[in-house]
Amino acid sequence: MNKISLFALLGILTAGAASAEFAGPNAPAATATNERGGFVSGAETIVTVKQVNEMRDDVPVIIQGKIIQRMGDEKYLFEDSTGSITIEIDDDDWRGQTVSPADTVKLYGEVDRGIFTTEIDIDYVEKL
Q: Is the pLDDT of residue 39 over 70?
A: no
pLDDT interval class at 72 (50, 70, 90) = confident
The pLDDT of residue 127 is 92
pLDDT tens per residue, range 73-116: 999 999 999 999 999 999 999 988 999 999 999 999 999 998 89
- pTM (global) more than 0.85: no
Q: In percent, how much of the chain has pLDDT > 90? A: 56
According to CATH, the topology of domain 27-127 is OB fold (Dihydrolipoamide Acetyltransferase, E2P) (2.40.50)
Question: Where do the structural domains in the chain lie, given as residue ranges?
Answer: 27-127
> Rounded to 5, what percent of the chain is helix, strand, coil?
20, 35, 45
- Highest mean pLDDT of the ranges 21-30, 36-45, 63-72: 63-72
DSSP class of residue 98 equals: -
The pLDDT of residue 27 is 42
Query: Which helix (H) or strand (E) element contains residue 14?
Result: helix 2-18
